[in-house]
Every structure is written in structure tokens, then in C-alpha cells.
């Protein structure tokens, strides 16, 4: 999402303060008097800080149709309780039917209402066409999904209604469902939050990204912490639901009347639940508390150290602290990605100690990948850092070997029959379960392959929805339930996220990829990707007419201006750790293997090398 362009000066907004009133034509927002400091207008296209607020005001008597439409569009961007002021622009019948929490249409800029069109004899009144470029939708579950930018056209219809004084007033009697917001208004009002659920059958949490209101929700009147807990209790989003589970009993909700959850001076959050959760076991309760701790860990300025779940009568169900909850994190099982690996100029696997502040000399790993017996081109290191997978220099064969002991090279575990290097094997990837994934790009025999525990016969993984595209590369998430695919078709390479579904017994699972969805539809082409956290990716790509960039995006396709990273020329590969505090690593044809520590610029680690990776 980007900032809105100019909005024709329709609204002034100020930092939080008391609203005194406005003169002239009353729309939905006006410059108001703050408690201190100078008064100044802020255009809607300006992000400003989180204190910028828009206050809705009702239509003036005798408001023209233009004023009613403009006022309503502005009122939708405010925090007014239950959108009460926005409803004053609607007929009573339409106000009763309108559900602003039904979903949100996100446009690149605030909608343009265009010119009035007189209604027909059968439907008298006035029609206004809303125009814009749609970039995303947000459903009733708060799930954001970016789409390829496309034209948006909807109609608002107005009719004249008798007001309380008997005079006829223009009001809206037909409108698009939910809210329609420009990107900057959406960013000002909404906050990204990761809900967390358990991977089916495992004690590993999986991020489920949603957007909640930055301040009090206009409909529920809940603060952000309470909104997040409510969204968690409501269950996973439809896309993620088939591969996750929640220990909360069906129907569990916050205790009736709870609108705010406060953190006490010991950084403890008490969460009162309804009667549905009153009889859960301690084991189930601690898993429930862990979900809440993970969901809220980055939401508040004060870190929540402990969650106490309470029965409806106020008695304690269980208590869980943050160190206990850490045992459910994906890297608790798969290992923390500390070291950085790459292929050196002699086609050997080398490692750089990731914990060191200063860049040290790389060391070759023990075994055939490090001693030169198996010259390689692409690599992946298992998350436990004991085993690695390597693609031969000509991209035709995949090998798996220990990188902790000296050993002889084994036989290739996958062989491609592609006739050229670019039509053979992709870079491999390890998931958090210890399974190894790779794509064979042979046009005659394309396949996505998985080797359970990195050994045995490769299994073909079904990927419905490819629509003729070829898998160029892939990365599997640490939790093992999501996969990022770079798909090539018609000269373009796009990024999609798929859900990893498993059926059957553990020792003989049938694995498939379901419901591919775009993760970077705003980009014309994506050339490299890596997971960079629970629901974040780092990508190398460019938008139509733009230049190549390295940037962060969320798995739902949402972006921010802060996600664009410092420029780097001719980037061919990028790698990030699941630990977001670790530096980003990349391969540039101009600068070699480089890294990007927090708050710094790119630093050269090794002048000659390729295929940088973190474990995974």
C-alpha cells in the first residue's frame, strides 16, 4: 500500500484535540482546535503521525447532492462510534442495512465521486459514479488480500427525503457494501496484527495476519488489544483454517461486556473468558494463553510478560509467561538461524558466523560440500545446521550430505533431464519439519518435489492453479504450512503463496499445495524471495516502469513505504533469517555477498561468492 495522491483539498485534519466547529460548507472533516501548539491543516495524502485524527460532522441543512456524497466519503474515514455521523448521510432504511464491518475496499487513492447523473423515471434522484484503482480487499474476518491493481467503479444513488422540519433533503439510499477507503486512510486507521494458531497436530504456532483499528473500533468500541484477542477467539481466517487448529473450545469469547483489556504494572494481562472455556484442562489452557501472548507480543509499547486467563466468575484458569510460550515458536524445534552460508568462488559451501558484530573470514564446512568433492551452484542448509542440500554446478543433480562430519559424497537424490541449466533444478529449501523441497524446471517433466526428512524417494507434490506457469524457485516457511513460489509465465515471474496440506499417516503423507494467492501483485516481476519472519517476505523485483528494488512485503500482499530497503545493484539472490533481528544477506553481481544490519547500509562480507542462505 502506498500513500494517497492529492485529494483535491477536500479535508483538513489536525493532531488530536477538541473539535470546536467549522464554517462554510460542512463536509466530514475540518481543522479543529488542538489543546496546544499551532493549528495547521494536513492533507489526507500526508501520513503524518498516529495522532492525526479526522472528525466527522453531519450534513448541513439543504446540503447539495455533491456535498452529501463528499461528506459521506469523508465520514467513512473517521473513528465515529458505529459510524453514527456517516449514517446521517443515509436514508433511515439504508442506514439500518449498511454494515461497515462487512469488509473494506482499498483503493490506491480516495475515491473520486465524478459528476452527478440524473436518475431515471423508475428510479428518480441522482447517481454518482465512484472511480478509483482497487489494490486490495479486507473481508469480515479482517483478512487483507492485495490484488493486481484494477479499475474500480461503483454507484451511489441519492433521493430526496422529508426531514424532521418537513423540508426535503438529499440522502443516500443505495451504496456499495462495507467501507471504501484510499490507501493512506486505510493505513491511518488500521494496524497489521499477526494472530497465532497451532499447525495441525503440532505444538508450533503459525501467523495469521489481519488488520485491526488503530484506535477504538467504531463498531465494537474495543481498544486494539481487545480487538486482537477477539479476532483470535473468532478463529483463523478462511485461507489458513484447513492447516491450523485452535485449542479454544467452540464458542469461546471474552466475558460479556468486556471492551478493554489492561496491562498491570507487572506487565500481566488478565483475560476474562465466557463459560465455554471454564472447564478446559491446564494443558489446553496454556496453549490458549500462548496464542494470546504471541498475538500481542508486538502490539503494545509495553511488552506483555504474562497472560492470566480467567473463568467467567473471575477465578484463574491458568497463567503463562513469555519464556514458557517461547517453546511453541517454530525455531524452538527447527533451530534459530544464526549463521550465514554461501557458495564460495571455488564452488564450495562456506559459513560466516552470524553472531559476530564484525565480518570475519569464512570457513568451509566439513564434508564433500566444503572440501570440493561436489562442486555446487545452489544450496540450502537444514534448520538444525547439521545437514545441507546442494545442486550440482550444472543444475542437473541434487545431493544431501552432513556438514558437521567428514564423509564421502553419496549418490544424487534427484536428477533433472532438462537440456539447459535454466531448465533444470531450482534452489532447494528445508521446512521446519526437516523435509527438503525442490522444483524440477524441465519443461517436459516439470515437478515440485519433497523428500521427507531430506531422504528417500522424492515425492511429487500437486500444485493446482499454476495455469501454465512454471515454478522457478521456492521457499517453505519455518512452520511448514506455507510455501512461497516464484512462477514464470509469458516472460514474467510473479510471487504466490500456497497452503501446504498433508493427508494420511505421518510415515506416508500425501502433500499438496492449495489456494495459491498473489503476494506481490503490484510488482511486474519478482526475481528472488526469502521468508523474513512469521508473515513477512523479502523480495527482489520491480513494479511496471520502475527499477529493481529490495523490499519487505507481508504474505497478504500489504506493503508500506518503510518496507523499501537501501538500493543495491544487480541483486540475484536474497536471504533472511526467521529471527527478524538478524541482518539481511544478498548476492550482488557488483558487490559480492553483502549484508544489511539494522540501521546501517549494505556491507560487503565476501567479494566473490554466490547463493547466500540462512538455514531453511
What residue spans define the domains of the chain?
A: 14-189, 192-330, 331-613
Comparing CA positions, the residue from 598, 582, 578 lying closest to residue 352 is 582
Q: Describe the strand order of the beta sheet including 190-199 as a list of residue ranges.
A: 205-213, 190-199, 244-245
Is residue 276 within 8 Å of residue 251, measured between CB atoms?
yes
Is residue 106 within 8 Å of residue 138, measured between CB atoms?
yes
**pLDDT at site 51:** 54
Is residue 438 within 8 Å of residue 414, measured between CB atoms?
yes
**pLDDT at site 354:** 64
Q: How many angstroms separate the CA atoms of 193 and 460, rounded? A: 35
**pLDDT at site 7:** 39
Comparing CA positions, the residue from 212, 205, 173, 168 lying closest to residue 72 is 173
Q: What is the number of other CB atoms lying within 10 angstroms of the CB of residue 458?
A: 19
What residues have CB less than 8 Å from 538, skipping those under 6 apart?
A: 529, 530, 532, 550, 551, 552, 553, 565, 574, 576, 584
Is residue 69 within 8 Å of residue 171, measured between CB atoms?
no
What residues have CB less than 8 Å from 507, skipping those under 6 apart?
A: none
* Cell numbers 506487565: residue: 267
**CB under 8 A, 24+ apart: contacts of 39-42:** 39/14, 40/14, 41/12, 41/13, 41/14, 42/12, 42/13, 42/14
Q: How many angstroms separate the CA atoms of 493 and 470, rounded? A: 9
Is residue 486 within 8 Å of residue 497, measured between CB atoms?
no
* Cell numbers 484503482: residue: 133
CA 170 to chain centre: 41
Is residue 544 within 8 Å of residue 538, measured between CB atoms?
no
- Establish how many alpha carbons lie within 13 A of residue 202's alpha carbon, considering only the half-sphere containing its beta carbon: 23
Task: From residue 250, give the alpha-carbon distance in Å to each of 253, 255, 319.
Answer: 9, 14, 21
pTM of the model: 0.88
Of the options 3.40.50.920, 2.120.10.30, 1.20.1250.20, 3.90.1170.40, the CATH number for the domain spanning 331-613? 2.120.10.30
If the chain, 616 residues long, is cut into consecutive pieces of 10 residues, what is the mean pLDDT of each piece?
Answer: 42 35 36 37 34 82 94 94 96 96 96 86 88 96 96 96 84 96 95 96 96 94 96 98 97 96 92 96 97 91 91 96 92 66 96 67 93 95 95 98 92 96 97 95 96 94 95 96 96 96 87 96 94 95 87 93 86 91 92 90 92 94
Q: Which three cell numbers stand for residue 129?
A: 459514479
Amino acid at each position: 500500500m502506498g500513500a494517497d495522491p492529492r485529494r483535491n483539498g477536500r479535508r483538513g485534519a489536525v493532531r488530536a484535540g477538541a473539535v470546536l466547529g467549522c464554517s462554510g460548507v460542512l463536509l466530514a472533516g475540518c481543522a479543529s482546535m488542538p489543546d496546544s501548539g499551532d493549528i495547521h491543516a494536513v492533507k489526507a495524502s500526508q501520513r503524518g503521525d498516529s495522532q492525526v485524527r479526522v472528525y466527522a460532522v453531519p450534513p448541513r441543512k439543504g446540503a447539495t447532492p455533491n456535498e452529501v456524497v463528499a461528506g459521506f466519503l469523508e465520514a467513512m474515514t473517521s473513528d465515529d462510534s458505529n459510524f453514527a455521523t456517516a449514517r446521517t448521510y443515509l436514508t433511515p432504511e439504508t442506514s439500518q442495512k449498511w454494515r461497515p464491518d462487512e469488509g473494506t475496499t482499498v483503493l490506491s487513492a480516495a475515491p473520486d465521486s465524478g459528476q452527478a447523473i440524473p436518475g431515471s423515471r423508475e428510479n428518480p434522484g441522482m447517481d454518482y459514479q465512484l472511480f478509483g484503482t482497487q489494490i486490495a480487499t479486507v473481508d469480515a474476518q479482517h483478512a487483507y488480500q492485495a490484488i493486481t491493481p484494477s479499475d474500480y467503479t461503483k454507484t451511489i444513488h441519492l433521493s430526496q427525503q422529508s426531514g424532521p422540519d418537513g423540508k426535503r433533503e438529499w440522502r443516500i439510499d443505495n451504496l456499495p457494501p462495507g467501507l471504501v477507503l484510499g490507501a493512506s486512510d486505510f493505513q491511518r486507521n488500521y494496524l497489521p496484527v499477526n494472530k497465532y494458531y497451532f499447525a495441525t497436530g503440532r505444538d508450533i504456532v503459525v501467523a495469521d495476519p489481519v488488520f485491526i483499528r488503530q484506535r477504538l473500533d467504531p463498531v465494537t468500541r474495543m481498544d486494539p488489544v481487545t480487538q486482537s484477542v477477539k479476532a483470535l477467539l473468532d478463529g483463523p481466517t478462511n485461507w489458513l483454517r484447513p492447516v491450523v487448529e485452535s485449542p479454544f473450545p467452540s464458542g469461546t469469547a471474552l466475558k460479556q461486556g468486556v471492551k478493554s483489556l489492561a496491562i498491570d504494572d507487572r506487565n500481566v494481562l488478565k483475560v476474562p473468558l465466557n463459560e465455554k472455556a471454564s472447564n478446559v484442562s491446564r494443558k489446553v489452557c496454556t496453549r490458549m494463553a500462548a496464542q494470546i501472548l504471541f498475538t500481542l507480543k508486538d502490539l503494545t509499547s509495553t511488552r506483555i510478560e504474562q497472560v492470566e486467563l480467567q473463568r467467567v466468575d473471575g477465578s484463574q484458569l491458568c497463567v503463562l509467561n513469555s519464556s514458557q510460550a517461547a517453546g511453541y515458536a517454530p525455531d524452538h524445534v527447527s533451530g534459530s538461524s544464526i549463521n550465514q552460508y554461501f557458495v564460495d568462488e571455488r564452488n564450495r559451501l562456506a559459513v560466516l558466523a552470524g553472531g559476530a558484530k564484525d565480518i570475519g573470514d569464512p570457513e568451509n564446512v566439513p564434508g564433500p560440500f566444503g572440501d570440493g568433492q561436489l562442486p555446487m551452484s545452489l544450496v540450502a542448509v537444514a534448520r538444525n545446521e547439521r545437514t545441507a542440500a546442494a545442486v550440482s554446478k550444472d543444475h542437473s543433480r541434487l545431493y544431501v550430505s552432513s556438514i558437521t562430519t567428514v564423509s564421502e559424497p553419496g549418490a544424487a537424490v534427484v536428477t533433472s533431464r532438462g537440456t539447459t541449466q535454466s531448465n533444470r533444478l531450482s534452489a532447494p529449501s528445508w521446512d521446519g519439519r526437516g523435509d527438503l523441497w525442490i522444483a524440477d524446471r524441465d519443461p517436459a517433466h516439470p515437478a515440485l518435489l519433497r523428500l521427507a526428512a531430506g531422504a528417500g524417494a522424492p515425492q511429487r507434490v500437486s500444485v493446482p492453479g499454476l495455469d501454465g506457469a512454471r515454478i522457478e524457485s521456492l521457499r517453505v516457511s519455518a512452520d511448514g504450512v506455507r510455501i512461497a513460489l516464484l512462477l514464470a509465465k509469458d516472460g514474467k515471474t510473479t510471487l504466490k503463496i500456497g497452503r501446504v496440506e498433508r493427508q494420511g499417516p505421518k510415515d506416508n503423507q500425501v502433500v499438496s499445495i492449495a489456494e495459491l494467492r498473489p503476494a506481490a501483485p503490484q510488482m511486474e516481476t519478482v526475481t528472488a524471495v526469502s521468508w523474513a519472519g512469521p508473515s513477512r517476505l523479502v523480495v527482489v523485483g520491480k513494479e511496471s516502469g520502475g527499477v529493481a528494488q529490495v523490499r519487505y512485503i507481508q504474505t497478504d500482499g500489504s506493503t508500506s513505504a518503510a518496507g523499501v530497503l537501501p538500493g543495491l545493484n544487480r541483486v540475484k539472490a536474497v536471504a533472511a533469517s526467521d529471527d527478524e533481528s538478524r541482518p539481511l544477506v544478498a548476492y550482488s553481481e557488483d558487490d559480492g555477498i553483502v549484508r544489511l544490519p539494522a540501521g546501517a547500509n549494505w556491507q560487503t562480507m565476501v567479494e566473490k561468492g554466490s547463493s547466500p542462505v540462512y538455514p531453511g
